[in-house]
Amino acid sequence: MRMVTLMTIAALAAAPAAAQELSPGQQLQFANGLYARGLHRAALEEYRTVVENHPDTEGIDAAYFRMAECALQLGDKIAAAKAYKRVYSDFPDSEFHHRSGYRRAEIFFEEAQYEAAAELFAELIGKKPPDAILAAALYMHGSALQKTGKNTEAAAQFARVIKEFGDSEFYSYSLLARAEALKKEGQIEEALKLYSEAAQKAGTDRVGAEAWFQLADQLFRLERFDKSAHAFATLLEKYPGDPRAGDGRLQAAWAFHNAGMHTEALAQIAKVSLDDLDDHEGAQWLYVKANSQRQLLKHDEAVQTYADLLKRYPESRYASVAGYEKALVHYRKGDYAEAIQMAKPHVKNPDLAPDVLWLLAESHAALNQDDESVQSYLRLVDKHPDHRLAADALYRVANRLQKREQFPEAAKQYRRLVEDYPTNAMAAQSLFAAGFCLAREGKHDQAVRDWTDLIKKHPDDAIAETAHYQKAMSEIHLKRDDAAAKTLTEFIGTYPKSKHLAGAHFWNGVILSENERPDEAEAHLRKAMQLAEDPDLKQKATFHLGHVLHGLEKFDEAVTLLQGLLGTSIKSRFSAGMLEWMANHHMQKQQYDKAIDAAAQIVKATDDPNWLQLGWVLAGRAYMALDKEDEARDAFTKALAQKARTEYAPEAALRLGDLLYRADDCAAAGKFYKQAADAAAADTQLGIRAAAFAGMGRAAQCDSRPETAVRYFLIVALLFDDDVIVPDSLCRAIESYKVLERDEERKKTEEELRERFPDYKCPTN
């Protein structure tokens, strides 16, 4: 039989049911056909005829269920609920039993009769319906309980769906509902986990969009902008048509902006037409746009966008801050004067005043307008002491004063920072800087106070190491040797890898040396020499070690160390006495070149005639030992040229006499011998005096004045007791007597020579 056409069915539906002469089964089949084609009003009438006139017809349970469905479609929820109840109550074995129970409870929920709905869903759940209906019933039961404030019971139902029905579309709904409850309870982290899971396992696009939106929104509120931006980006990419995509677009732009994803923020802004927005939203879009351009260093574009915002929305709450940030862009561009002019009007805005004052201070500083800069910094500190920039401003004031070498005032401001902001990250640095400024002013006792505070209060700060070292330096200035030594010892133990370690060992060595503890001083100075990378410090350590070793009578090593410093800048620190000792030590070791170096340094290091005379004599001795007679003669001549009467003057005259005598300039030699004899008046110079008289005799002898020669030789023989000069002088007297042909005196002189020096043989010509 051919299928009845839709038009025929419509015609039949318009006629009275009794006129159709259909059996109950046919009428029910007819009603099902109408229902299947969406003709709910006509179908409802046919179902009603069947259930009223033929209640025992097979499939009557289905008729009641579809009656309810038709009534629901027609907006008659009361009739629908009655029909669902009939199926649920009268047909417990019907395939529509559980569905009817669910539908009826759902109607109560939609009508905001949440307590009744909760009871009906609970009853249905107790009858253990099929999983598909059970999952939905559990979710709706939880939702109804949640509406009545029974959050704990509601949470249990959502949890059951999450645990038992992972494949149900209500799984993700339950995740969302549970997350929402947790959010209200303040369990944000747990809520975030459920939002994230709902987003990843969304049963529908609607759930997915909602989950990503809620996740992004909560992350934004927690200021986790990176993750919020990612969630918004996913929402906009996967569900661009969902209402939440539209709701979240502006917040997404903020998230991108706050996450530093300024390119992405601008991409969102490019999709928006300002003409379609109200003033509040339009101002926000332009503000985010301008800020993103500013962060991307698109300064000219940012200035234009800020200007556009101020023109379009002058009354917006973003207008004032936009004006300030426009000034900030000018600052970034280097237009400092323009930045100052634009920022000034916003000082009166209490929300912006601290940032404006900071911008003014920085701009004035960039223009080297120190007074204006310091004034703005201090206004920020004085008027807004709790602002996040207050401590920075105070530090910059102190720093600028320090650069201007106004050290007392700089130290005062640094101390103010420490006292007003003791937990600030710059507190340790400020204490250090205060100590530095005080030390520069010579107020080392106060500097020690500040550095001690730093070490105690900020022991783990990197600057504590340098503060520890500088504390010792100030204690040295204060001549607190014990305190300085203790501080240095603590420093060495605390910072074994410090860049100041060599200096610490050096100063410890110096202090120990000055306090007559040479053995300990030696150990520290050796360590300083070993560690020092700075050439100047290495030289100082070597110099002091040389002196300590000299005191310990380790002469060879001492002179070796000190000799190596004569060609360096530290040579000016050598005392003439130390140089004299070095020269004499080298002479004893027959290291004549080194003796000359030491003697030359004496000459270079002083203008004192006494020390100059000494230096030239020491140099002359070494030259003579090297047979460099010309250099020796020059050295001794310069020694005698000094306006000094030291014990070295007679020696210089004697050596000049010897050199001239060797050169056969007997007359000149005699004069210098006489000068030596006259100058060597001290008892300690008898040897020089004897040699001078002997020289005078030799000079007279070679000048053919034997009578004079005999006299000087006899003076030596009679007045002095020298095993070398006396026998030689007796021999020379004997020769002169021979020239004078005075045999008796010659014989007596020969007898004296034999008696006093029996083994001495006069040389033969």
Distance CA 680, CA 233 (A): 106
Q: What are the respective helix, strand and coil percentages of the chain, to the nearest 5?
A: 80, 0, 20
Q: What is the pLDDT of residue 223?
A: 87
Query: What pLDDT band is residue 2 in, cutting at 50, 70 and 90?
Result: very low
pLDDT in tens, 72-97: 898 988 988 898 888 888 898 888 88
Query: How many Cβ atoms are within 10 Å of 517's Cβ, its own excluded?
Result: 15
The predicted structure's pLDDT at residue 4: 42
Residue 242, C-beta contacts closer than 8 angstroms, at least 6 positions apart:
205, 206, 209, 235
Single-letter amino acid, residue 661: Y
Q: Both tokens of residue 408?
A: 């007392």
Write down the pLDDT at residue 275.
72
Q: Once rounded to an integer, what is the mean pLDDT over residues 234-252?
A: 83
pLDDT in tens, 60-76: 988 888 888 898 898 98
For residue 318, what pLDDT is reported? Answer: 75
Three-state SS for 284-321 is HHHHHHHHHHHHCCCHHHHHHHHHHHHHHCCCCHHHHH
Supply the pLDDT for residue 765: 62
Distance in angstroms (rounded) separating the CA atoms of residues 272 and 252: 13
How confident is the model over 333-359, as pLDDT tens digits? 888 888 888 888 888 888 888 888 889
Q: Average pLDDT of 366-394?
A: 91
Whether the predicted pLDDT of 253 surpasses 70 = yes
pLDDT at 209: 85
Question: What is the structure's pLDDT at 440?
Answer: 93
**Spatial separation of the C-alpha atoms in residues 491 and 81, rounded to whole Å:** 88
- d(CA 637, CA 652) in angstroms, rounded, equals 7
- The domain locations on the chain are 499-572
Q: What are the Cα distances from residue 488, in Å, to 472, 495, 545?
A: 6, 10, 18
pLDDT of residue 19: 38
pLDDT at 10: 44
Model confidence pLDDT, tens digit, residues 187-242: 888 878 877 877 787 778 887 888 788 888 888 888 888 888 898 888 888 888 88
> How many angstroms separate the CA atoms of 39 and 13, rounded?
9
**Which sign, positive or negative, has the C-alpha torsion 138, 141, 147, 152?**
negative
Q: Sorting pLDDT into bands at 50, 70 and 90, what band is 15?
A: very low
Q: What is the pLDDT of residue 545?
A: 85
Residue with tokens 């160390």: 561
pTM of the predicted model over 0.85 = no
Q: State the average pLDDT for the chain.
A: 85
Q: How many angstroms separate the CA atoms of 278 and 101, rounded?
A: 47
Sign of the alpha-carbon dihedral angle for 685, 690, 693, 695 = negative
Query: 499-572: which CATH topology?
Result: 1.25.40
262-292 pLDDT per residue, tens: 888 888 888 877 777 777 777 778 878 888 8
Average of pLDDT values for 731-744? 93
The pLDDT value given to residue 142: 82
Least confident window among 116-130, 534-548, 551-565 = 551-565
| Neighbour-count burial of 432, counting CB atoms closer than 10 A to its CB (0-12 exposed, 13-18 middle, 19+ buried) | buried
- Mean pLDDT lowest among 386-395, 508-517, 595-604, 670-679: 595-604
